[in-house]
Structures are given as C-alpha cells and as structure tokens.
C-alpha cells in the first residue's frame, strides 16, 4: 500500500528522443520491464530525421499484449524541454517519471523511488531522484565522465536540489502548479523545475537504490559539446536563482549543484594559460635567476597539465559555454 492508502498509484514514465533510432528498442524495453505496476509509457519523438518515430511506433504495436499503455507522440523539433512538457500534458499518472533515450533503467527503478516516498512522512515530497551510472566505455573521456558522476553521487545527501533528467519522478500536480517544463529553456530543464519546486515549498529526496544505466559518452567532441551546453545553461540558472542557490518558503537556502563537478576543472584553462605565458616570457626576457626558478616550476606545471589535456579542453568548453550564456542573457534568448 502506498502513502495515502492508494493501492493503485499510476506512474507515467516518459522519454523524449531525437535521431536516436539505435537506442529506442533497449530503452523502451527497460521501461516495460519495470517491476512496478501500474505504469504507462509516453514516448515523444522530437522531430527526428531518422527512423526514431517509426521504431517507437513499431515497439508500441509489438507490445500490445503487455497490458501497459504505450503512447507515442510525434512533434516538430522543439527541444527536450518542450518534449517533456508534451509528455507531461499527456500523462495520467499521479507521478510522472522522466528518463533519457540513452538510458536503461534497472527493473526496480520506479519501485525503489515509490518505496522511498512511502518511507518519508516528514517532507512535502515533490520529486524523487535516483542514481545514474555512466558506463565506463573504452575511451579516456568516457572513463573521466563515468568516474566524475560516480564521485558526485557519493557526496549526495537525502535532500537534494536536483532531480536529474535521466532518473527522476515528480508529483504531476506539483509539476503542473509551477508551469511544468518551459519550452523556451535551452537546457537544464531538470534543474530549473527542481529549483521552482523547492521555491514553492516542495522537497526532493534522493534514493540511491533507484538505478539507471547510462550509455558511455565515448566521443571527445560529444563530451565537450555537452559540457559547453551545461555551462551555457548554468549561466541562466545563476542569473535567475543566484549564485548561492534558492530559498524555500521557510527562508533556508538550498544550493544548486548543476555543474558542481566542474568547479575545479573551470580553473584549469586560465592557470594553464598563465603558466604557458610565464614560460614563454621567461625564455625571452631572462631577467634573473629568480625568474628562471619561477619559470622552471611553471614549466613543470604546464607539462603536467598537458597530460590532463581532456580536462584542459573540458575547462575551455566551460568558458566557451559561459560566454554563450552571457550572449543569451544580453540578447534575451534561450529562456532568459
């Protein structure tokens, strides 16, 4: 029996995709394999130019005997936030779960989150978030991403400020009350609805046993594009909610953690450039032995930094994303 005495708490599981035909089958299969019932599945195709929509429709038609309502929505290419809003508006469940097409939720993902809700009677729970495990893959970049996310989750407490997009669920009425997912948001729609829910008096709880497997982020360019996108969206979050975080109705500040894993990485590029400049200047000027000592130490740091080249590029992508975010703010675009 679930909190409130309702034996049949329907959960709507939603996923959005664009040009992801190779991931549709595995993702949707993991959703119908959830051990929790009752559920419905809502898949949104965001204007794909490949066979994503067809794969979704074929999957729906091939699973008619599973007694699970599977809905497929086709739309123009409006973006992830708009796609999530379409799914939310079509959902019938008391709870609306979100994941990503490149994820494979474990069979107990939903049931673990529902159990966490049943146990928590002290909070006005508006959302529950699980844990995303990034596969390590075969590249240096994919291993960096996997281990960074793992360390971030190890530091999480029970009450958090982010219901992550790949592994969370929301009370539908609470989500609708804050306006849902704004179609204007460029990225970080999960962070922004999370902060709005906290502002409205809700809480978000973390359940570490609600696991979702994420495919490895193998390519360097893909990794850098996503980190640039994170930083670009973070600029909007900081502009709207401040550097420190967001206040709940009681006045307590809940710090947002959207790019907390990059707080140290962002310093690498300026430090590297300063060190490189000092080395270059020292080779030309050569004023005295003290300068050579400083230059020698700096050169050692620069050479060490070169062994961390993915982190240097990561830092550069964060700075570039921040500049794009500033331009978005100036020109009032992408949700500003």
Q: Which of 51, 48, 9, 21 is nearest to 169 (CA)?
A: 9
Question: Between residues 103 and 4, which one has the greater pLDDT?
Answer: 103
Of 230, 90, 244, residue with least CA distance to 165: 230
Task: Answer yes or no: is pLDDT of 211 > 50.
Answer: yes
Start-end of CATH 3.90.550.10 domains in the chain? 11-218
Cis peptide before 38 (omega within 30 of 0): yes
Closest by alpha carbon to 218, among 316, 317, 308, 144?
Answer: 144
Cα torsion at 298, 301, 303, 306 (round to 10°)?
-130
pLDDT tens string 228-249: 999 999 999 988 888 777 777 7
Q: Which residues pair with 73 in a beta bridge?
A: 44
With beta carbons less than 8 A apart as the criterion, state whether 7 and 123 touch. no
pLDDT band for 336, please (50, 70, 90 cuts). Answer: confident
Per-residue pLDDT tens digits for 144-184: 999 999 988 998 999 999 999 999 999 999 999 999 999 98
pLDDT at 255: 74
**pTM of the predicted protein model:** 0.88
Of the CATH numbers 3.40.50.880, 1.10.357.10, 3.30.420.10, 3.90.550.10, which one belongs to the domain with range 11-218?
Answer: 3.90.550.10
């Amino acid at each position: 029996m679930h909190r409130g005495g309702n034996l049949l708490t329907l959960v709507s599981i939603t996923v959005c995709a664009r040009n992801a035909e190779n991931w549709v089958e595995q993702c949707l299969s993991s959703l119908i394999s959830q051990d929790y019932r009752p559920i419905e599945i809502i898949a949104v195709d965001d204007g794909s130019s490949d066979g994503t929509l067809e794969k979704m429709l074929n999957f729906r038609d091939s699973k008619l005997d599973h007694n699970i309502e599977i809905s497929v929505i086709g739309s123009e290419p409006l973006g992830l936030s708009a796609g999530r809003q379409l799914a939310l508006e079509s959902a019938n469940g008391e709870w609306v779960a979100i994941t990503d097409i490149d994820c494979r939720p474990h069979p107990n993902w939903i049931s673990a989150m529902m159990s966490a809700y049943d146990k928590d009677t002290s909070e006005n729970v508006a959302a529950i978030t699980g844990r995303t495990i990034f596969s390590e893959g075969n590249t240096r970049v994919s291993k960096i991403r996997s281990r960074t996310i793992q360390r971030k989750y190890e530091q999480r407490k029970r009450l958090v400020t982010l219901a992550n997009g790949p592994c969370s669920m929301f009370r539908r009425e609470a989500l609708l009350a804050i306006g849902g997912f704004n179609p204007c948001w460029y990225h970080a729609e999960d962070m922004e609805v999370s902060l709005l829910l906290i502002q409205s008096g809700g809480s978000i709880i973390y359940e570490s046993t609600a696991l979702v497997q994420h495919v490895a982020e193998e390519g360097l360019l893909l990794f850098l594009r996503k980190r640039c996108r994170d930083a670009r969206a973070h600029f909007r979050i900081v502009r709207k909610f401040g550097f420190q975080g967001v206040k709940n109705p009681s006045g307590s500040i809940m710090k947002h953690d959207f790019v907390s894993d990059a707080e140290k990485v962002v310093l690498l590029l300026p430090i590297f450039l300063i060190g490189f400049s000092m080395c270059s200047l020292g080779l030309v000027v050569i004023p005295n032995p003290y300068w050579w000592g400083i230059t020698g130490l700096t050169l050692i740091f620069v050479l060490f930094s070169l062994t961390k080249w993915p982190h240097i590029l990561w830092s550069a992508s964060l700075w570039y994303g921040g500049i794009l975010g500033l331009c978005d703010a100036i020109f009032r675009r992408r949700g500003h």
